[in-house]
Chains A and B, each alone.
Chain A
């Protein structure tokens, strides 16, 4: 916990802000003594199952970076903010981070709602804003942002890849039911799935659409209904405790023998489910960073990250850890590019933002390119749940990789419009086995 401030320091910082005008982005950029990044993530509430591991990953990576001399010669200091208390609290916290703490870069957020609220704010405050985990497609499709970049994939590719995989593996399904959490991601991901499915395989019947309250702890009734309906496929983009509860209650009652599950966000729950996860169902990880990736681009770096995380926290990293890492690597690549472009001088906020546009940065598994509109192109790997000797939890087999560009809507097009134009021939051409 090297980064937590003492209470006194914070109060001092608050008074500092009272006494001194805060640093404004308009002032000529001077090389700071440290690079402060404001990180918003869930530290309370149900989504802290993502937030806390991602903070651990962030702290670990920054410790490693600082031990190696920091970024562009200066140490990095993260300041964490809890998304848990809600958006109206968070927009205040973003202002505090920029206006009082004087952060240089924002890393935000897990919740799509947070991203939608804070991205416009980052433009008003003129701070570089790396969207490190939220998936909503609306951000870059409804607006253009000078300061915001998403260093990972997004809802469209994360839903389309599992759908394509399903169409390849089980092309004859006729009925589908959905059980998603009742909030933006649950609703949006279903809309994306439905649109793409109607284009790629017209005529599939939707037998049940269920959106139980966010944070539900019991799905017995929903499971009974699904058992009675016997759909061929059950889609659930749920995560966290809800996915764990659903899988456990469903497998106990052998729902997995009647229907095939498609779980695009399953990876983060596999360690908790352990052997309770049934085999042979489609699982995704919102990217390509499976712990058993058969052919990462840089195996040494990939294993180093996983092993360091395991050693320090006694568990495997889950996908939010990888997403956090991607943001850190993107920051390193972007800042170094901006400094190099100025011949070693420190870039202004706008110059820093411009360095991210079109940036391609390496990840241990592949590379990610930040498109012209700010959206990152991240490859997607989907597979069937299976067990092997290496891991005490389910990992995918028969994996297929879908390159980010193939499963993302082109710049300037809305996902739902683009998905409508998909042709059934795409099922054959998309993706490759790895």
Chain B
């Protein structure tokens, strides 16, 4: 064991750096899904579409503004503003005109409504943005790279990958935790997450909270997409792959748990990058193995609370 570490310690260090940035991206998407699930009790399959649309919108707004001569540094605020825009438009639209009609229905029906929405939005993306890969990398290029020492050698990492992605994840985590614990609206959201019936009985305007939470969740999904757009080429189908991983994060984390989502994303991000170094063929199943192991030990998820059994 000690010998193994001597041989591979440096590689493990690299895997750690890679894992952090991928964990950051996983977290941003999953935390939005988890928040929405906690409050609305809907597994929003279309969260993946919002991620994809966020990515596409950020890239095309970025390309458009760059054409107008926007300086390079502005590309990072542009990413955030695009995501906010996508969330602010699509979030209320979806919540008001679709989800609001089905809150009274069974869980499976709600799930399917978002599944149907997902199918529709998949084709909408194709009609709007076409099928050729789209990319806009100014943000990544502008920040440049940093050489990380690796024994006698060095490895260039992009600053974007090393600092921006984990940085945004940490800001989101801290900001959310503060918002949920310290502000009135935040506390109301927590109250609805913990006990919906009691909260509404106490006179909380559930409709308003639902709209707010869903819009915020949509923004987070779009932000995840927007932040991925400087490094990834956007093609049809990116939403489907993102959402299935987020499902695993949400179930592992415990419903509505922000810190749980952060810890789970970290485990999955690190697990995957370690796998790429030492057993690449395992990479794809790592998140599911983590999920099953966690749920074996903690059936309600990492940070989940056991619901009182009602008679």
Tell me the A residues contacting B by CB distance below 8 Å.
44-46, 48-49, 51-52, 208-213, 215, 217-218, 220-222, 224-225, 227-228, 230, 240-242, 244-245, 248-249, 252-254, 269, 272, 276
Which of A211, A218, A222 counts the most chain B CB atoms within 10 A?
A: A218
Tell me the B residues contacting A by CB distance below 8 Å.
11, 14-15, 17-19, 21-22, 25, 122-123, 126, 130-133, 135, 137, 140-141, 145, 150, 153, 155-158, 161, 228, 231-238, 241, 272-273, 276-277, 280-281, 283-284
B138 to chain A, nearest CB (A): 12
Given A49-B235, A253-B157, 14 more A-B residue pairs with CB atoms under 8 Å apart are: A46-B236, A51-B131, A213-B241, A215-B237, A215-B241, A217-B233, A218-B22, A220-B231, A224-B18, A245-B133, A252-B145, A252-B158, A253-B145, A272-B233
**8 Å CB contact of A48 from B126, B155, B273:** B126
Q: Is the CB of A225 within 8 A of B135?
A: no
Q: In the complex, A242→B161 CA distance in Å?
A: 18
Give A315's nearest chain B residue, CB to CB. Answer: B132
**8 Å CB contact of A52 from B17, B131, B140, B155:** B131
Q: In the complex, A46→B239 CA distance in Å?
A: 11
Given that A220-B18, A224-B18, A225-B14 are contacting pairs, would A215 and B135 also be in contact in the complex, using a CB cutoff of 8 Å? no
Give B157's nearest chain A residue, CB to CB. Answer: A253
A-B contact pairs, 10 of them (CB 8 A): A48-B236, A51-B131, A213-B283, A215-B235, A217-B228, A217-B238, A220-B22, A221-B15, A225-B11, A272-B132
* 4 A-B pairs with least C-beta separation: A241-B235, A244-B233, A217-B232, A48-B131
**8 Å CB contact of B241 from A211, A217, A221, A224:** A217
Q: Is the CB of A213 within 8 A of B133?
A: no
Q: In the complex, A276→B136 CA distance in Å?
A: 11
Q: In the complex, A215→B233 CA distance in Å?
A: 10
Q: Is the CB of A248 within 8 A of B233?
A: yes
Give B151's nearest chain A residue, CB to CB. Answer: A228
B167 to chain A, nearest CB (A): 16
Q: Is the CB of B273 within 8 A of A272?
A: no
Q: Which residues of A contact B281 (CB under 8 A)?
A: 211
Q: Is the CB of A225 within 8 A of B131?
A: no
Q: Is the CB of A213 within 8 A of B284?
A: yes
A259 to chain B, nearest CB (A): 13
Q: Is the CB of B237 within 8 A of A46?
A: yes
Q: Is the CB of B22 within 8 A of A221?
A: yes
